[in-house]
A and B are shown apart, each in its own frame.
Chain A
Amino acid sequence: MKFEEAIKELEEINKKLSSDSLPIEEAKKLFERGKELSKICYENVKDIKGKILEIKEELGILIEEEVDL
């Protein structure tokens, strides 16, 4: 599932959760789904962060090496 899709669904869940007339069974399902979606989002965020750090480290070292020739 894509990050954007997960975010969109999480937004919809939020909207439903704030309505007064939500039956308990429905709410339980939404909590479960929200948990899964949050996990997907968090994995994506962590992945991006890791990639950025990787790039910074690898290219940073490369550039420093070049300069120190």
Chain B
Amino acid sequence: MLNSITVSQYSQYIKQIFEAEELLHNIRIVGEVFGISLSRNVTYFSLKDEMNAISCVCFVADGFKDIKEGDKVTVTGSPNYYMKSGKLSFNVVKIEKEGEGELFKKFLELKDKLLKEGIFDESHKKQIPDNIKRIGVITSKEGAVIHDIINVSHRRNPAIDILLYPVKVQGNGAEDEIARAIEKLSNYDNIDVIVVARGGGSLEDLWAYNTEVVARATYACEKPIVSAVGHETDFTIIDFVSDLRAPTPSAAAELLVVEKTSLLSKMRRVFENFYGSAEDFFFQVHNKFDLLFKSFISNGESYVESKEYELGLIDASLSKLDPMSILKRGYAKLEQGKKKVDKASDVDLQSNVEIYMHDGKIVAKPLEVEEL
């Protein structure tokens, strides 16, 4: 059971999550406005599409001058969690009316036309292969996009080859270059997948990807195509035609090169952990045995030493008792008629005495006894 936390701790935590999630900061959201209410120069409203709705709040004083209920708009801002009420609102810093611009009208017309032709049909979409080795990238040779794709791909798997087909990504003739590149790579054997990529920009900047010629080339392409145009919130016609839409160019590389390397590094990690614990286990076992073995040897040695010491003591005391050792120090033993004589007064002056030294016996005649 987890510890309890207070409402404030919970709120603080939720707020921090939204603040830390930079992908959600300063984004553009398209939707329809409804439920506008104004209170002290702050406008509250909801933004919805066919399925869902979000709460928005706008602090810009006259941001809502021309906006009315049901208008389709693009709002720019970031999510904000209000801790006092526990509500998540989208904090709008800019609001633009859509659906009226010339380009947007063209975009919708082309989208409708192609939709009716069946060019967006899911059934026509090709499967993105699993084991990708070479990726053909159609984008500008300048700018961050190609570098991002190379970096992300190679970080995930250094063996991936990236083939760049350089094109103009905006301005006059860009759409023709892009369409021709798609046609060329469509027939180029040595790649597994094509990525059509471009960094973020305005509707005008991204226009080449909203053209019929690019849409048709994409549809006709024999190879699987991933579109990665603009930011996550930008949708272009090619995104509807392509076999897979990646939210950004880096994300395209991540989608295509993810599984194999992550599996490999996972395997490597598991193996290294396994090897590490095997080694730890070995050192433990080894140490335990090593210590025990050393103490066995030293116990054995000290046992032997103690026995040798005891033996030495016994030996020393034994040699003190040995009569020979006394004789060796210059003393002598006296006998008379095979009998031990240990008193001078016991000596019989009439018979010989035998004096035992350590190396022999002297037979002598006693002359006189002087008692001390």
Chain A residues packing against B (C-beta within 8 Å): 3, 7, 10-11, 13-14, 17-18, 20, 22, 24, 27, 31, 34, 38, 41-42, 44-45, 48-49, 51-52, 55-56, 59, 63, 66-69
Chain B residues touching A, range: 20 to 34
Contacts of B279 in A (CB 8 A): 52
Q: How far is the CB of A30 from chain B (nearest CB, A)?
A: 8
User: Are B271 and A63 in touch, CB under 8 angstroms?
Assistant: yes
Verify if B5 is at the interface (C-beta below 8 Å from A): no
Within 8 A of A (CB), among B290-312: 292-293, 295-296, 299-300, 302-303, 306-307
A24-B307, A56-B275 known; A48 and B299 CB under 8 Å?
A: no
User: Are A63 and B300 in touch, CB under 8 angstroms?
Assistant: no
Verify if B59 is at the interface (C-beta below 8 Å from A): no
Contacts of A66 in B (CB 8 A): 264
| Contact residue among B264, B293, B306 (Cβ-Cβ distance under 8 Å from A67) | B264
- Main SS of chain B's interface residues? helix
A20-B306, A24-B307, A45-B286 known; A10 and B275 CB under 8 Å?
A: no
Within 8 A of A (CB), among B329-354: none
Q: How far is the CB of B267 from chain A (nearest CB, A)?
A: 7
Within 8 A of A (CB), among B235-277: 264, 267-268, 271, 274-275
User: Are A10 and B302 in touch, CB under 8 angstroms?
Assistant: no
| Contact residue among A27, A41, A42, A44 (Cβ-Cβ distance under 8 Å from B303) | A27
Contacts of A49 in B (CB 8 A): 282, 286
User: Are A10 and B296 in touch, CB under 8 angstroms?
Assistant: yes
Verify if B288 is at the interface (C-beta below 8 Å from A): yes
Within 8 A of A (CB), among B19-36: none
Beyond the given A7-B289, A52-B279, please list 12 additional residue pairs across the A-B interface where CB-CB is below 8 A: A7-B288, A10-B292, A11-B292, A14-B299, A18-B302, A27-B303, A48-B281, A48-B282, A49-B286, A52-B275, A59-B275, A67-B264
Contacts of B296 in A (CB 8 A): 10, 13-14, 17, 34, 38
Verify if B327 is at the interface (C-beta below 8 Å from A): no
Q: Considering the chains assembled together, what is the distance between the CA atoms of A55 and B302 in angstroms?
A: 42
The chain A residue with its CB closest to the CB of B281 is: A48
Q: How far is the CB of B51 from chain A (nearest CB, A)?
A: 43
| Contact residue among B267, B289, B303 (Cβ-Cβ distance under 8 Å from A17) | B303
Contacts of B271 in A (CB 8 A): 59, 63
Q: How far is the CB of B37 from chain A (nearest CB, A)?
A: 60
User: Are A41 and B293 in touch, CB under 8 angstroms?
Assistant: yes
The chain A residue with its CB closest to the CB of B288 is: A7
A55-B278, A67-B264 known; A14 and B292 CB under 8 Å?
A: yes
Q: Considering the chains assembled together, what is the distance between the CA atoms of A38 and B268 in angstroms?
A: 36
Contacts of A34 in B (CB 8 A): 296, 300
The chain B residue with its CB closest to the CB of A46 is: B286
Q: How far is the CB of B286 from chain A (nearest CB, A)?
A: 5
Verify if B285 is at the interface (C-beta below 8 Å from A): yes
Q: Considering the chains assembled together, what is the distance between the CA atoms of A44 and B282 in angstroms?
A: 10
